[in-house]
Structure 1
Amino acid sequence: MKITDNYERPLISLRISITNRCNVRCFYCHHDGIIPQEYEMTPEEIFRISSVARNLGVKKIRLSGGEPLIRKDIVDIVRKVSALNFQDVSITTNGTLLQRYAQTLIDAGLKRVNISLDTLNPQTYRCITKKDYLEQVKAGIRSAVEVGLYPVKLNMVVMKGINDQEIWDMFHFCRDQGVILQLIELLQTENCTESDFFDEYHYDMNGFEKELKELSDRVKKRPFMQDRKKYFLEGGEIEVVRPMDNTKFCQNCTRLRITPEGKIKPCLLRNDNLVDLIEPMRRGYSDEQLKELFLEAIDNREPYFQETPH
């Protein structure tokens, strides 16, 4: 089954936030566009949501947070979701607990991992996260590569005056570890709307992308990954993720999100069109009725940034 929204965008992936809890406090965190609440779904509820999504044609599941590895039942969750035979099951993590879990996660069916790390400088890491976990994160990266998770990607949120001067150092670190570097544009969502903060730290990557293009051996577009570009150079890869004011990012979006309290979130940048899934499920909705709620959420999807008619 192939499901598309009213803008002919296929639904390919589902990102499930399984917790709002986190063991670091990054000052820029937008909680994946979700307003934080104290609630977590059970592994069985996550499994059932994933099952309905699988029957709708979803091919990829990403588990995120907060910090997903903070849940003591994370391996059970991965095992249940992986049993549904998705094309891809992955996790986004800050890496602080990854050394402990890498082997058991891949044994449970995890395919790959994205690790959030914005700096290799201990002082800057402490400034961003309020913690001293940098060496644990590096150990987690090594463990992920060693156990065979592939690809391992490192997410670096680039911030003006904080870490923009570290991009090439991070690239060389990633290349030496066998890891792909993803440069993430600082995002402004409905629950993170302080314009002074955004204006102070938002880094315009136009100049850097021009430099990348000139230095790269080749450039590849990923049409079903929001048209983002991958640059191949010096034996490594850099992927650039730029959602802000980017009509191509929105036009090529193929993702739905599930909030920790079990609501379908059609758009990363909006919180006014969510569809509740968990309460109907607890009231005894059938899988067919839950499918209709998914279809309602898909019908709510529209590009946040759209081409302006001339």
Structure 2
Amino acid sequence: MVAVPVILRTGRATLSPVSQAPATRQDKSVPQAAPIAPSGHHHPGAPLVDRFGRVHRDLRISLTDRCSLRCTYCMPEQGNEWLARTSILSTDEIVRVATVAAASGITTFRLTGGEPLLRTDIIDVVRRLAAIEGADGPVEIAMTTNGIRLDAVLPGLIEAGVNRLNISIDTLDRDRFRALTRRDRLDDVRAGIAAAAASGLRPLKLNAVAMRGINDDELVDLVAFALDHGAEMRFIEQMPLDAGHTWDRARMVTREEILAALSTRWHLEPVPGRGGAPAERFLIDGGPAAVGVIASVTAPFCGACDRLRLTADGQLRNCLFSNDEYDLMPLLRAGADDVAIDALLHECIAGKLPGHAIDDPSFLQPARGMNAIGG
């Protein structure tokens, strides 16, 4: 194994991430299980289990920080500082990390961005990742996209092995869409959704960030739109992940408000057995159709989180809201072996806190915006 210094990029003091887990960063709404003492070593291929017993099976891979939209809750319209092309993981590097992760129990790779369809080699990325097998067989490939260009590339994605799609659509109104995204691309998004609906890929999920005074009067219409396309609508509480750090909790539409609005039209029945899924699901009028709510702020699900993130520039993150990152790039570009990559994956998981602590006074919004972190 080649000895390579691992660079930690953090918004706080440059300390070993494993050693910094202050009590003030714990989310009080998360059941506090007693930490499991790390063994101090592991063997390659050991499950990715953190100090609180959470087994990690989902790796979210950001393919680029660039996007074809400029959503107000995500990034500024102008002045964005994009990652240099030389700092973006190559397809070979992505596949190498994914192969090591699969050997340690990762079963799902979700491709995100920015906008993943902006990656020119997206079909090749999907094909090569879909060929990876873990201990339990082939991995599953999911993708979160804004739908622009999806109608053109979907046949290739399906042939390459994509299994599931999540498509973002926050409003059905053209003027609102243009104001919210700063781009007049609603027709392109709807074309992508129509193509996905016709493809037979299921489950098909549509995502919307619920925002007060912007689209909170469209919640019922969005669910009806999803049902017309054989899709499941999922509403997301707006989170403090905008690049401008302008998030205002008062403007966030809460889980309870979302459910109250939908209950004026349908009877909602909770679906049991959520597991580690981010969305709390509800059957619509007895099912089989359902709607989901991702309430990361008011009803966090950190206690069952099984997700790990890899940014487009090779940083591992154990939480969407973390200010700590574990840099894989020096290992990948200096010839380190798979054992070293596996060790950093486990170190990242060992440093995971019990919760994101949005409600704690000490909470610090991540320096990166959502487009740079990956969904």
Give ranges in structure 1 of 5+ residues lacking alignment: none
Partners of 1:245 and 1:203 in 2: CA distance: 10
| 2-structure distance, mates of 1:124, 1:241 | 22
Mapped pair 1:91 → 2:143: yes
Structure 2 residue 326 is the aligned partner of structure 1 residue 275: yes
Deviation at 1:219, TM superposition (A): 3.0
Q: Identify the residue that residue 283 of structure 2 maps to in structure 1.
A: 232
2:252 corresponds to which residue? Answer: 202
The answer to whether 1:13 aligns with 2:58 is: yes
Q: Alignment partner of 1:256: what SS?
A: strand
- 1:22 partnered with 2:67: yes
Residue of structure 2 in register with 1:100 after alignment: 152
User: What pairs with 1:242-253 in structure 2 (closer than 5 Å)?
Assistant: 242-246=295-299, 248-253=300-305
Paired residue for 1:3, among 42, 48, 52? 48
The partner residue of 1:53 within 85, 101, 115 is: 101
The Cα of 1:87 is off from its aligned counterpart by 3.5
Deviations 1:79-109 (A, max 9, x none): 0100104432011100011001111001000
Structure 2 distance, partners of 1:188, 1:128, is 17
Task: Tell me by how many angstroms 1:262 deviates.
Answer: 0.4
Aligned length: 300
Question: Quick check: 1:30–1:188 contact (8 Å CA) kept in 2?
Answer: no
Unaligned runs of 5+ in 2: 1-45, 361-375
Per-residue CA distance 1:241-275 (angstroms, 9 max, x = gap): 011154x411111000001100101110012x211
SS in 2 for 1:62: strand
Q: Which residue of 1 aligns with 2:83?
A: 37
Contact 2:236 2:294 in 1 (8 A): yes
Please state if 1:66 is matched with 2:106: no
Q: Which moved more, 1:212-221 or 1:61-70?
A: 212-221
The TM-score with structure 2 as length reference comes to 0.75
- Paired with 1:245 and 1:4, the residues of 2 have a C-alpha distance of 26
**In 1: Cα distance, 2:210 partner to 2:170 partner:** 7
Between Structure 1 and Structure 2, which shows a larger proportion of helix residues? 1
- Aligned partners of 1:25 and 1:211: how far apart in 2? 28
Q: CA deviation at 1:230?
A: 0.6
3-state DSSP of counterpart to 1:16: strand
Alignment check: 8 A CA contact 1:145 1:178 kept: yes
Greater Rg, structure 1 or structure 2? 2
Secondary structure of 1:165's counterpart equals coil
Is the 8 Å Cα contact of residues 220 and 262 (structure 2) preserved in structure 1?
no
TM-score, normalising length from structure 1?
Answer: 0.90
Identity of aligned residues (%): 34
Tell me how far 1:303 sits from its aligned partner.
Answer: 2.4
Supply the AA of the counterpart residue of 1:244.
V
CA distance in 1, matches of 2:272, 2:219: 20
The alpha-carbon distance between structure 1 residues 2 and 295, as it changes in their structure 2 partners (threshold 3 A), is closer
In structure 1, what is the Cα distance between the partners aligned to 2:173 and 2:127? 35
**Which residue of 2 is the match for residue 295 of structure 1?**
346
Contact 1:182 1:238 in 2 (8 A): yes
- Root-mean-square deviation over aligned CA pairs: 2.2
Q: CA deviation at 1:189?
A: 3.4
What is the CA-CA distance between 1:135 and the residue it aligns to?
Answer: 1.1
For residue 28 of structure 1, report the CA deviation from its aligned partner.
0.3
Cα offset, 1:141, TM superposition: 0.8
DSSP-derived class of the 1:224 partner: coil
Instruction: Specify the alignment match of 2:129 in structure 1.
Output: 81
**In structure 2, what is the equivalent of residue 152 of structure 1?**
204
Alpha-carbon spacing, 1:10–1:30, altered in 2? closer, same or farther (3 Å): farther
Q: Which has the higher contact order (CA 8 A, sep 6+)?
A: 2
Asked whether the 8 Å contact 2:110–2:141 carries over to 1, the reply is yes
